[in-house]
Amino acid sequence: MIIKWFMVVGLLFFMGCSSKSTVVLIENGKTQNAVIVTTDKGSQTLDSVGSFVNLTAKDRLPSEIKIMSKKEIAERFKEVIAITPNKAKSFILYFEQNGVELLPKSKQILLDAIDSIAKRTPCMVDIIGHTDTTGSNQANMVVSLKRAKYIASVLEKRGIPLESLLIKGYGEEDLLVATPDNQAEVRNRNVEIFVK
């Protein structure tokens, strides 16, 4: 089962807490989703939003597939839905060459990232700095880490605790846009902010 593609609700049977468990496939923004629910006696494939089966024992077939409305899912499983982690979000900020000056459009993206972090707290935040391929590898490692630390300082000034941040600089490694050595490319001069 692939957790990011579906939600498993009420798997209490496997913990010995209930005589019936339910597995339901919920909306996740993807166009194709499926989960195969298997017991010792057979399996059922849930491949449409709202489809569900009940499980009563590992040596019995899953129930026939039925459809549950979004409203019923929200009502029956509100406690599980409330503790489901938010999907990770990614923000990419672009910089002027050789420094920590953000390009004008990236200033608004940074504000959007700060807003997202504030709404998701507590959360984990990765801040990964990059450069283009101009300059030496060593200098680019320094610049990429400076960019990441600069963004971390902005977040800290906005009340985001540093212990929830992972800060790294990759220099000209792992380029967003593949370029030859010593080529300026604005899209590679970036910091990626991953909010999880």
Q: What is the pLDDT of residue 1?
A: 28
The structure's pTM equals 0.65
Q: How far apart are CA 58 and CA 150, in angstroms?
A: 54
Q: What is the pLDDT of residue 16?
A: 34
Contacts 24+ apart (CB under 8 A), 63-70: 68/24, 70/27
For the segment 106-165, what is each residue's pLDDT rounded down to a tens digit? Answer: 999 999 999 999 888 788 899 999 999 999 999 999 999 999 999 999 999 998 877 778
115 Cβ neighbours under 8 A, 6+ residues apart:
none
Cβ atoms of 129 and 144 closer than 8 Å:
yes
Q: What is the pLDDT of residue 19?
A: 66
Mean per-residue pLDDT, 24-52: 84
Mean per-residue pLDDT, 40-44: 90
List the chain domain ranges: 3-82, 89-195
Which CATH entry fits the domain spanning 89-195: 3.30.300.20, 3.30.1330.60, 3.40.50.12280, 2.60.40.2480? 3.30.1330.60
